[in-house]
Chains A and B, each alone.
Chain A
Amino acid sequence: MTKELFTGAEMVVKSLSALKVKYIFGYPGGSVLDIYDAIFQQDEIEHILVRHEQAATHMADGYARATGEVGVVLATSGPGATNCVTGIATAYMDSIPMVVLAGQVASSLIGNDAFQETDIVGCTRPIIKHSFSCRSLADIPVAIAKAFYLASTGRPGPVVIELPKDILIPDNKAPFSIDTDIKIRSYNPTITGHPKQIKKAAKTIASAKKLVVYSGGGIILSDSSELLTTLVETLKAPVTNTLMGLGGISGTHKQFVGMLGMHGSLEANKSMANADVILALGVRFDDRVTNNVEKFCPNATIIHVDIDPTSISKTINAHIPVVGLVDVVMQQLLDELTRINFTPDEAALSQWWQQINEWRDVKSMSYEQTDTGKIKPQRVVQALYKITQGDAYICSDVGQHQMFAAQHYPFAKPRQWINSGGAGTMGFGLPAAMGVKLAFPDKHVVCITGDGSIQMNIQELSTCSQYNLPVVIVTLNNRSLGMVRQWQDMVYGGRHSSSYMESLPDFVKIAEAYGHIGIQIDNLAELDEKLTQAFAIKERLVFVDVMVDEKEHVYPMQIRTGAIDEMWLKKGVKA
């Protein structure tokens, strides 16, 4: 019996099918036309045509963040592939599982500066978990299966696969098989925490008087928010989340002291600064958390749990490092605490909470909204929370609106808050929201953005029309690059160098031009009503352009070069 033969392009599609891929986000071009032809001739996988490859990566990224599945991108060689670079870097910084299939010129032309040739493997080397260059048909299923395995296990991340045109064309055929049970001898992430370290950690936790749990994106990525909640409730200690970790524990949980870091709550940063033990779970002590590392929490014993050994003791020395998958390690810790008959030290806890409540009473997130004044951006986020009953997917761009959203929308669940935390990629919000909406069409999906960020991928309004993706876009429009302007106000003597948007378009008309609904809100009296109207429209994309106070700054804010808890509460007011 002769085996059925397939082209490389067919193998790409068959491999993705075998890995249960539902969507590919991409844009066609010369070197990948054979793959597009193969996609055309099947109906298991739907291809979503974006308007710019960067948006394809963010859309795949948003889809991956919301579902936990691997996001898949397809782009042609040269500019198609290089347009993916920002999106790959974004996924890399936030450890998002993604596979990018990039076309390449035919093998015989590689190195000749051929039309649309770029060394995409070289371009992306510093911002990927791994990459593969396929050189034969047999390489294709192996590379794709390995790429999915690598992207989604250990510390997740993006993987790039380069596919030269000559192995995709109909002239070359070969039998197809794919083995999805992958083992790679040089890749064995540590899953279980070392028992000795677990014992040490549990003992340290048990004797703590002022414990704080500091958890991050690792909790979200490993779907272990329930376990985190159990652990925190067992310990009765305060818990703070990083920007990436929001939703890891409910934002309304009584032990939750808010986000920490540059624009975190005073109580979160004070708890860290005054802690005697910090239990760090799936975090990486980012500079936007620590502030000045020299002054970072001098009295704390630090227990650092992370799947990635390079994250441990990179910026802040860990006294008790535990390498492992955070949910496995949390269960180990709970078991060990039970074994040593752990009971919380109620006297110490009561003192610790009394102290924390005093910091809470400062109400560091407060702002002043008068009935007749301009709309405060914080007020818009709070209105969104009310109208969506705290149950929307909030996809943010980057800037002041991102911080306001993180501060004023208490996330009840993991994967509900979707933002570019590590890379800080403007233009991420809209395509990410589209990816989420595709996965959860019945949910409210909101893109909170600014007048700067939205213009970095505004062309995707067209993709929304094509695939009927009725997200709600809410622009906190302050007619300037708010975060840049804030720094210029605070650090650069109020010199607003290139932070104005002096020629803003009419966003309502733009929305309408793409076939959507545009609503503008410019006074407080109509805010709640018009927002409610926007969310009542389920079948159409609504672009809500809210004119907010352009002078509002994000507070509180860490004082540069200071300790973690040295913060500005308002202009000229230190904590």
Chain B
Amino acid sequence: MRRILAILMENEPGSLSRIVGLFSQRAFNIESLTVAPTNDNSLSRMTIATEGDDKVLEQIVKQVNKLIDVIKITDITDRQHIERELLLVKVAAVSDKARNDIKRITDIFRGSIVDIGKQVYTVQLTGDAEKLNAFIVAIEHETDIIESARSGCVGMARGDKALRL
């Protein structure tokens, strides 16, 4: 089952490689991983999307928590949460029909066209993984995808619950 883990850790050199190393060393999967410093510059916030049954997930959470740099880890999958991912996709826009189709589909998905070239449009879209996947299927139906980049998901629990020091 797909899980989203939110991790708060020390913003120190080597912290990221310890996490990545742990996942490969113990044969855990990483579907996506995002990391950046938080408003408190001494802390980094990481979101990992991973796969595994309950037993594997229990080990992942415990093993990550055991790393000295890690302050907190939480599995946000089972509770109400917000999940967002950013997609940038460059698509072929060679005819009026293609340009209209791209514009229409982008509007439906509430994305935006953020750049144009002679024969390409670049579309920006945010949402959960499912929405991004659906957009890619829809746009591929109308035109060619030339390049795409996804940020991997970031997540946060809804309501008053917070992952902080």
Mark A residues whose CB is within 8 Å of B.
Answer: 121-122, 125-126, 129-131, 133, 150, 184-187, 308-310, 313-314
Contact = CB atoms under 8 A, between A and B. Distances in A.
Interface of B: 9-10, 13-14, 17-18, 21-22, 25, 55, 58-59, 62-63, 65-66, 68-71, 165
Given A121-B14, A129-B68, A186-B68, A310 B21 contact: no
Could you tell me the dominant secondary structure of chain A's interface residues?
A: mixed
A133 B13 CA distance: 9
Q: What 6 A-B pairs have minimum CB-CB distances, sorted nearest first?
A: A130-B68, A310-B62, A186-B71, A126-B25, A309-B62, A125-B21
A186 B70 contact: yes
Contacts, number: 35
Contact of A309 (B66, B70, B165): B66
Contacts of B65: 309
A133 B59 contact: no
B5 to A, nearest CB: 15
Contacts of A310: 59, 62-63, 66
A122 B70 CA distance: 18
Could you tell me the dominant secondary structure of chain B's interface residues?
A: helix
24 contacts: A121-B14, A125-B17, A125-B18, A125-B21, A126-B21, A130-B68, A131-B14, A133-B13, A133-B14, A150-B68, A184-B68, A185-B165, A186-B69, A186-B71, A308-B66, A309-B62, A309-B65, A309-B66, A310-B59, A310-B63, A310-B66, A313-B55, A313-B58, A314-B59
Given A125-B17, A310-B63, 8 more contacts: A121-B14, A126-B21, A150-B68, A184-B68, A309-B62, A309-B65, A309-B66, A313-B58
Contacts of B10: 186
Nearest to A313: B58
B68 A187 contact: yes
User: Among the interface residues A121, A122, A133, A186, which one has the most CB atoms of the partner chain B within 10 A?
Assistant: A186
Contacts of B70: 186
A121 to B, nearest CB: 7
B22 to A, nearest CB: 8
Contacts of B71: 185-186
A156 to B, nearest CB: 13
Contacts of B68: 129-130, 150, 184, 186-187
A121 B96 CA distance: 56
Contacts of B165: 185
Contacts of B14: 121, 131, 133
Nearest to A127: B25
Contacts of B63: 310
A341 to B, nearest CB: 36
A184 B67 CA distance: 12
Nearest to A311: B62
Nearest to A184: B68
A121 B59 CA distance: 24
Contacts of A133: 13-14
User: Among the interface residues B17, B25, B68, B165, which one has the most CB atoms of the partner chain A within 10 A?
Assistant: B68
A290 to B, nearest CB: 15
Nearest to A125: B21
